[in-house]
A and B are shown apart, each in its own frame.
Chain A
Amino acid sequence: DTAVSQTPKYLVTQMGNDKSIKCEQNLGHDTMYWYKQDSKKFLKIMFSYNNKELIINETVPNRFSPKSPDKAHLNLHINSLELGDSAVYFCASSQDGAGWEEQYFGPGTRLTVT
């Protein structure tokens, strides 16, 4: 069973479009995250949710809107896509969001904006 899954794995779209990436975890964790990994492999947190409540919201453009329908799911919707949004987006989860906990990562969604 996949612990943290993301769909789609690849997403190619044109500038100006709106797209969503879905994430699900079956670990029973309370906290979920979205990370962005750029072309130089730099990994930066975007958002975190604990039990459907937004905890971390980094300086991310308003075009990015996370939604957590329940604690097992955290989706990422992106409006008006731009070239600079091209990256690999990783979803992750941890048990309670405590600093010492391991985060479990999904396989990533490679977004290409043309």
Chain B
Amino acid sequence: AIRMTQSPSSLSASTGDRVTITCRASQGISSYLAWYQQKPGKAPKLLIYAASTLQSGVPSRFSGSGSGTDFTLTISCLQSEDFATYYCQQYYSYPRLTFGGGTKVEIK
């Protein structure tokens, strides 16, 4: 199975900060990568797919990049509603999908 490793597992940031989260795949997955945001007690929400395509309705301060094994999610100017846990997910081995362990973005 393809393993997805996210770093850091948590970070503290302030509103207005630029935040970058990294996701590494155990083997090349081309651009078959999605990012999700999850708030406590809620279902995950799709942010980005195909490594860099923004899902409809997602603010443009979110962006994704990368291909192969290394990917990043960037939040250009952190807003209060962005404090959440973020997961990467590979779908290269569809339908056998795997998620990263998550990155919790907390208020500094």
Q: Do A and B bind each other?
A: no
B interface residues (Cβ-Cβ under 8 A, vs A): none
A interface residues (Cβ-Cβ under 8 A, vs B): none
